[in-house]
A and B are shown apart, each in its own frame.
Chain A
Amino acid sequence: MNDFLFTQVLTELEDAIGRENCSTKEIDRVTHSVDYFWLSRMWADRGRRMPEADFVVSPKDAQEVSKVLKIANYYKIPVTTWGGGGGTQGGAIPVAGGIVLDTKRMDKIYDVNTDSMYVECGAGAIYKHVEWAANEKGCTTMHYPSSLTCSTVGGFLAHRGIGVVSTKYGKIDDMALKLEVVLPNGDIIETSPAPKHAAGPDLNQIFIGSEGTLGIITKAQMRIYEQPESRKFRGFLFKDMHSAFLAAKEVLQKFKPSVMRLFDEAETVSLIKKIVGVQKPGAFMTLAYEGPKELVEVEEKIVLSVFGKYGAEDLGSEYGEKWWKEKITFFYPGHMLDIPQMFGTMDTIAPYDKIEKIYWAMKKAIETQFEHVKFIAHFSHWYEWGCMVYDRFIVEKEFVPEDPAEAMRLHNRIWSVGVRAALENGGVVNDHHGVGLKLGRLMKEQYGPAMQVFEGLKKSLDPNGIMNPFKLGL
């Protein structure tokens, strides 16, 4: 954009939302160019600048978002929405320049409604702040991802995020009652007054997971829950993963534990041994059940009896409690995976009859096609019909190419191989981190002709293609 037009656009943005809420400063452009995507971090680590926005804007509500989008549409300038920047798929990186729209000024908690058990809040609210608001009224959001303190309501919705107690309480997409969304043309819409209905398709679910490509979520009503009277943990060691799957599936036909995490043999040995202190080989599973005391006691009995049948060794509550306490420690620098290692989480999901096959196929594909790439996994977020595999690849620093472009090539090849192995065996592109820039190319491989539904939506809602270009494969 030439200087003249640049200044014209800037003055229009300033006029729309106030000078102090529009920035072209280096500090804002740089800090909005590196998100939690391994590639953006690696690029910065090597002293390279990521693509940056020309303008960083922070509107305070849907009306201001609407004004920004109208300007952007008129001048055909890309708009990339940025929540917390905690996404792992490069979704918030303004790869095409233009405007970064940061949502964090839309952080108001409008209502903690204990009559209907929801919080109404701005989509830029950090989820931990929503949790605090719920706590102040004696409730909780039951959305406990490791990034509770990092990411926003809108960001979680945009990526269909998930927390550690999802097996009982659901994913973020199960927790949204109603959304306010600004469409690319600036129109402000609300989804249905109630999330369950027969008044046509579900508008919520069109925007949830759309990663800022179809509109910007500006407000949301998110469910809250009573604090559980009791939460009990129990750790088990299975002799192998297969018996653990059978046992878990059987429990899930009877009730839903809140936490259910099964670590594969490799992860049991490495991570779990280091952090939780389990010394024996096998497949470690940690569980929690919660709610009214009496129910929890019954649930525990069910677990002990079912797991006993499958030969699980009862490790008592200590391991589970320790894991619960330490569960976010893993994500601090120096604790888990960090640059200069190369790593990625290729979470996918499938029914029980496919998930084990997917795990083995991904493991084999990664380990045989790449030298020096380690593969570990755990299975969390379980349903009556299937579960998610949270598999990670790790390349130690001595095997990561020096040249950033070469490192990017290796990274992208590993991803393609891993995700394709999942797709070929009945999995999906991703379970809860989203698609972003990282996996856009694989969306058509999963959806085939079904992709035209998304493309049709994109074309009609965003004919100028300004909303988060090069993301979600759209």
Chain B
Amino acid sequence: MTELTTETAGATEAPGTAGTVRGAQERFAPPTRFAVPGRIAVSPQDASVWRTATLTGIRRETPRVSSFRFAVPGWPGHLPGQHLMLRLTAEDGYVAQRHYSIASAPDDSGHIELTLDHVEGGEVSGWFHTVARPGDRIEVRGPLSGFFAWPADRPALLVGAGSGVVPLWSMVRFHRSRDMRVPLRLLVSTRSPEDLIFAREMRSETTPVFTRSAPEGEAVGRLGAAHVAPFMAKQPPGGWEAYVCGSNSFAEHASRLLVAAGQPVERIRIERFG
């Protein structure tokens, strides 16, 4: 079987990235079917350089979540779904590093946005939510990871929970900014309407699932088979590429639902926030 080779060779030139695309060179292809062949290759150069990012704006999304806009000179561009590594450095040289998904769509503005949940007592998210102000400088390296990227080449079924919606929202923004025709749907699980990140921007592509409290007349409950079924019943030509993002327990739950509903495992990509 040569699933991996076929997939790799079929990777498309990604719009808006400087990343080089893996060629169809002879490589060992495991005899096992690969669940998540990379969509695009990541440039080793971009992955290894730390760049200074200057905070230019903060926008509140929900009581616990804000978006942070940065100017990043030399940002090589990204695809929606990719993340970066961010580091904060204390005066004694102590460093804290975390991964964050890129929330903004790729554009040529030299800016990127991150959207951060305020984790109780969180070392890095705590600094952002209580100390950071425009003009502050931090460091980032990336973009990283090609397997969760969406080059807008296949219909996408996005399934997220909590801050797991962030990389998926970059895909929605990308889709809108280029006025794309390729089908894209978002199924997002949230505790309550107040906790729904990007709620103001959501339109008919989004189906929210409320787990604790819902708007008047809407159901409260966990994401279940009934939420997934309509998407599986109405498949676009070529089927969905599923992107699942959230906590590990959500990712396990959602990916099992998709498999049970008939989504092929090799077309489910998972990003776990831990």
Chain A complexes with chain B? no
B interface residues (Cβ-Cβ under 8 A, vs A): none
A interface residues (Cβ-Cβ under 8 A, vs B): none
